Amino acid sequence: MKKIFTLLTLGIFSFGIAQISTTRMNEMRLNNTLQQVEKALGKKLEITKTGDDWLFYVKVSEKGADFTLGFLESINESNSKELVLYEIKTNSSEIKTLSKLGVGSSIDDLWKAYKNYNISVWQMWDEIEDSNSKTDRVFNIQDHDAGTSLYFYLRNNKVYEIVIGVYEGC
């Protein structure tokens, strides 16, 4: 009886945990249409586009974590315009990857968890100094099968933002 209770508790707890993979954050999946994302979230979204930005953005909260969703306008098979989820960003410490890493994790944690994956790491550009940043860099995992990338943005070797996006091979 104790085993069944423990398994049920673990199952319920796991269901409520926010998660990140290379294709989704929680129930928000890359390449889903706006209507599919709204259905997954259970609410209508107010999308905005600023200036000459090529993505339409909306901020949402789900399972205790905050996200910024970026939608791309595309043409579907019916030759109609539709918005498709192109990227998801978060700086919330409430959400973790399937490897239990998230905002606040170290560069060493990332190397240990992802050393056998297709990764790249680079320094970010510092616009003020007009050179590579001494404190900020990106740790990137590419999922070629899914056509997506998972980006960990680091400052002083600690993750401060996580982004997943469609990878177009360039």
* Of 34 and 15, the one with more pLDDT: 34
According to the model, what pLDDT value does residue 18 have? Answer: 64
Share of the chain above pLDDT 90, in %: 69
Report, as an integer, the average pLDDT of 74-91.
93
What three-state secondary structure class fits 27? coil
Q: Which residues of 7-22 are buried (b: 16+ CB within 10 A; e: fewer)?
A: eeeeeeeeeeebbbbb
According to the model, what pLDDT value does residue 169 have? Answer: 73
- C-alpha to C-alpha distances, 144 to 149, 161, 166, nearest whole angstrom: 8, 22, 10
- Is 34 a residue whose pLDDT tops 50? yes
- Is 96 a residue whose pLDDT tops 60? yes
According to the model, what pLDDT value does residue 41 have? Answer: 94
pLDDT in tens, 126-164: 888 889 999 999 999 999 999 999 999 999 999 999 999
Helical segments of 17-166, H only: 34-41, 107-114
Cα–Cα–Cα angle for 157, 162, 168, rounded to 5 degrees:
115
d(CA 70, CA 39): 17
- Is 13 a residue whose pLDDT tops 60? no
**Residue 102 neighbours by CB under 8 Å, 6+ apart:** 20, 93, 95, 96, 159, 162
- Is 15 a residue whose pLDDT tops 50? no
Residue pair 60/48 in contact by the 8 Å Cβ criterion: no
